């Protein structure tokens, strides 16, 4: 356990226009909007990295102000910083609220809207600070001995709930104090690694008294249990919730460790009563994920997201509510045959507004709790994210394949107004390619939505090199996503047509479509990929002699698989963080429930027909058919799919005499997060494609 320092810090933060200072008293450089100049109206990697990235969005109690965060990145400095901004509810009078070299995040309105609390690492660790809406009177509220990773004040603001890590495993130095420099890690059970870290700590919810002058009487409400709440690697404060009367805390936890944790997704919603200090599991009957609780504003209900089946992390994400007086539970989103991604209650507790994928878009829907009728509010080729109430309207972040996140207001009839335009200076200089949705016939007679993205200034009388984009997940929707790495408009700006199919195994087309991939990685989903590229290749503007295939994660598996099965369709492949050897992946990955469900079981179970089919379709079994140049990319801190998968694929290609290149990042995980690594990724990616699809074959620029 960490020691707790309850000292209240009153020193003002360096949150002025002059920025912060280092320990030597020298000002640190600030990172903010760039004056980048773009030539020929074509998107570039430099332009992508110059963009501000919208983060948290919160509305003031009187619905008159909106606070939001924006992060900017510097390739030269190889780092980022995130600041708070504030504007009127109609988008006017936007101002920089904090201006520092630190990371400000997670803003929350407190004291009836007279102050804004937020996280900042100004003191060297993540602590809670607050500031007035006009930017004056900055103070540090906590000086906890450890990082605070998320927080929520009770509705009466007398208590503070926050997340911090607790130690759950002894280090080598704990076991052998006379070996303080030994770096070995002793492992005796599964889940010894997770995502990109060696698992030695777990996040816990802590409760403290709050007086406006700091915190006191801090307790771990899980009482030192070795479990996680919220759940790693991506859970945050959304997995915890205060009751409206400030007497109870609902939290998400999978109360398992070791192998039991590694093979199960059975998390539950627990309710901790502050007075009795007793904890109750309110979802013991459900065997899959239960996450993200919220209490209704009238205090009569608690809601949460729920997956039904244990071990299936891509099961339908359903919205449930429970009547707190009777204990009655109801699956209220049954009419929506897809996932509920995020949701919020109406002020009168009669409606829930939620987002979910359907036909390659993520829209906002209303759910009338009187009859559980679901109706769409928004429409168009967009993805909406995490709607929240703004008086009689909603506000939400929105993005598409042609624009990153901005804040929009939405009335209940679906009329929208854009409130922010943080990257206007870049969008004004860039011409985006047209995004077209096509329904393509599959080999089993179904209709498949495929997005086709054309180069800017597309000329149908010319012929273009064309890329098949293979989605990861494996069950992540090919919706109107915007990525700062896998950016389809950037690929189009480099002169490529992009074909992005919603192949079998993706949500938004009914549960049967979504589930037709588990235990069948090399089956219909691969035939869907080939149906998509074959259909678009019939167009006169597609150069069939210059087709490429790219993808990451399951998309990387798809690339490795297609490299041995494509029958000379493609002239270049790029696989990022892909699975090459399924047998090794089954043992190497940390989340065994994923491998068991998706692969059907262990490769040594000779009586398991599904598993045997899976491992018979491992890409490494078809290397004898590889004949096309391939680029393999991987991060060595990727513990979901280990980097040796890319190394093995690269080695196999070279030994087969196939032109190949390997890009390894020793300090990146399943993603590429550092600016200069991101730029290196983009340059390597396009150099490879250009070399084999544009330049005379094999000649670098």
Q: What is the DSSP letter of 372?
A: T
DSSP category for residue 277: -
Annotated active-site residue in 338, 618, 670, 690: 670
In contact, 240 and 293? CB cutoff 8 Å: yes
Residues 6+ apart with CB under 8 A from 573: 548, 549, 550, 559, 562, 563, 628, 629, 630, 631
Contact 204, 163 (CB under 8 A): yes
Place of tokens 């079994």: 621
Alpha carbons within 13 A on the beta-carbon side of 529: 29
Check if 638 is active-site. Answer: yes
Alpha-carbon span 62 to 369, nearest angstrom: 26
Q: Which of 341, 520, 528, 638 is catalytic?
A: 638
Q: How far is CA 623 from the centre of its chain?
A: 32
Beta pairing class for 361-368 and 373-376: antiparallel
Could you count the other beta carbons within 10 Å of the beta carbon of residue 274?
17
SS3 state of residue 49: helix
Q: Cα(164)–Cα(192) distance, rounded to whole angstroms?
A: 20
Q: Which of 675, 674, 688, 622 is nearest to 653 (CA)?
A: 622
Taking CA atoms, 609 is separated from 365, 558, 603, in Å, by: 41, 21, 10
Torsion 120-125-128-130 (CA) sign = negative
Instruction: Tell me the CB-side half-sphere exposure of residue 266, using CA atoms within 13 A.
Output: 15
Which H or E element spans position 261? helix 258-262
In whole angstroms, give the CA distance from residue 233 to residue 65: 32
396 annotated active-site: no
- Both tokens assigned to 420: 């922010």
Establish how many alpha carbons lie within 13 A of residue 214's alpha carbon, considering only the half-sphere containing its beta carbon. Answer: 14
Is residue 479 within 8 Å of residue 383, measured between CB atoms?
A: yes
620 is catalytic: no
Q: Which of 333, 409, 553, 558 is catalytic?
A: 553
Cα–Cα distance between 351 and 83 in angstroms, integer? Answer: 33
Q: Label residue 652 exposed, middle or buried (CB < 10 Å: 0-12, 13-18, 19+).
A: buried
Could you tell me the sign of the dihedral formed by the alpha carbons of 126, 128, 129, 133, in that order? Answer: positive
DSSP 636: T
Q: Do the Cβ atoms of 532 and 481 come closer than 8 Å?
A: no
Provide the terminal-to-terminal Cα distance of the chain, rounded to the nearest Å. Answer: 56
The radius of gyration of the chain's CA atoms, rounded to the nearest angstrom, is 26
CA distance 299 to 423: 40
Which residues are known to be catalytic?
A: 553, 638, 670
């Amino acid at each position: 356990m960490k020691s707790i320092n309850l000292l209240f810090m009153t020193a003002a933060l360096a949150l002025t226009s002059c920025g912060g200072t280092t320990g030597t008293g020298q000002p640190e450089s600030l990172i903010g909007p760039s004056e980048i100049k773009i030539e020929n109206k074509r998107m570039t990697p430099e332009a992508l990295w110059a963009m501000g990235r919208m983060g948290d969005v919160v509305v003031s109690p009187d619905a008159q102000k909106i606070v939001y965060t924006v992060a900017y990145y510097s390739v030269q400095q190889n780092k980022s910083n995130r600041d708070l901004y504030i504007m009127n509810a109609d988008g006017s009078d936007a101002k920089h609220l904090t201006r520092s070299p630190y990371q400000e995040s997670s803003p929350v309105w407190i004291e009836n809207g007279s102050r804004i609390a937020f996280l900042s690492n100004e003191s060297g660790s993540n602590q809670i600070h607050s500031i007035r809406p006009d930017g004056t009177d900055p103070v540090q509220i906590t000086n906890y001995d450890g990082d605070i990773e998320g927080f929520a004040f009770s509705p009466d603001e007398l208590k503070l709930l926050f997340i911090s890590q607790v130690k759950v495993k002894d280090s080598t130095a704990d076991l052998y104090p006379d070996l303080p420099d030994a770096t070995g890690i002793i492992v005796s059970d599964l889940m010894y690694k997770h995502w990109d870290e060696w698992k030695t700590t777990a996040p816990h919810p802590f409760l403290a008294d709050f007086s406006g002058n700091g915190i006191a009487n801090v307790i771990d409400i899980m009482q030192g249990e070795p479990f996680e709440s919220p759940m790693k690697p991506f859970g945050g404060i959304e997995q915890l919730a205060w009751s409206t009367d400030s007497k109870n805390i609902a939290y998400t936890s999978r109360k398992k460790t070791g192998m039991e944790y590694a093979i199960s997704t059975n998390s539950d919603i627990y309710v901790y009563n502050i007075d009795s200090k007793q904890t109750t599991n309110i979802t013991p009957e459900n065997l899959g994920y239960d996450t993200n609780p919220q209490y209704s504003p009238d205090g009569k209900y608690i809601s949460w997201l729920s997956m039904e089946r244990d071990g299936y992390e891509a099961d339908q994400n359903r919205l449930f509510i429970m009547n707190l007086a009777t204990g009655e539970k109801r699956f209220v989103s049954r009419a929506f045959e897809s996932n509920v991604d995020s949701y919020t209650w109406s002020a009168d507790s009669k409606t829930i507004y939620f987002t979910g994928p359907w036909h390659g878009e993520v829209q906002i829907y209303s759910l009338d709790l009187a009859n559980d009728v679901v109706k769409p509010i928004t429409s168009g080729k967009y993805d909406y994210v995490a709607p929240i109430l703004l008086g009689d309207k909603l506000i939400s972040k929105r993005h598409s394949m042609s624009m990153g996140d901005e804040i929009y207001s939405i009335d209940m009839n679906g009329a929208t107004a854009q409130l922010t335009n943080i990257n206007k200076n870049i969008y004004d200089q860039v011409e985006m390619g047209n995004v077209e949705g096509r329904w393509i016939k599959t080999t089993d007679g179904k209709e498949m939505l495929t997005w086709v993205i054309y180069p800017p200034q597309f000329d149908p009388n010319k012929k273009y090199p064309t890329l098949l984009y293979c989605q990861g997940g494996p069950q992540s929707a090919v919706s109107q996503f915007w990525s700062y790495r896998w950016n389809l408009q950037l690929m189009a700006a480099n002169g490529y047509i992009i074909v992005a199919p919603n192949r079998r195994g993706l949500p938004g087309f009914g549960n049967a479509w979504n589930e037709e991939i588990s235990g069948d990685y090399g089956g219909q989903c691969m035939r869907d990929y080939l149906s998509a590229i074959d259909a678009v290749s019939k167009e006169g503007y597609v150069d069939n002699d210059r087709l490429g295939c790219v993808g990451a994660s399951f998309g990387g598996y798809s690339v490795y698989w297609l490299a041995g099965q494509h029958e000379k369709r493609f002239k270049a492949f790029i696989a990022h963080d892909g699975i090459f050897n399924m047998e090794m992946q089954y043992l190497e990955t940390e989340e065994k429930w994923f491998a068991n469900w998706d692969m059907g079981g262990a490769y040594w179970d000779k009586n398991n027909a599904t598993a045997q089919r899976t491992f018979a379709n491992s890409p490494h079994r078809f290397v004898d058919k590889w004949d096309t140049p391939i680029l393999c990319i991987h991060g060595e801190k990727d513990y979901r799919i280990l980097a040796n998968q890319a190394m093995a694929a690269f080695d196999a290609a070279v030994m087969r005499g196939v032109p190949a290149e390997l890009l390894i990042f020793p300090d990146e995980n399943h993603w590429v997060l550092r600016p200069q690594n991101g730029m290196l990724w983009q340059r390597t990616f396009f150099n490879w494609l250009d070399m084999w699809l544009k330049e005379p074959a094999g000649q670098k620029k």
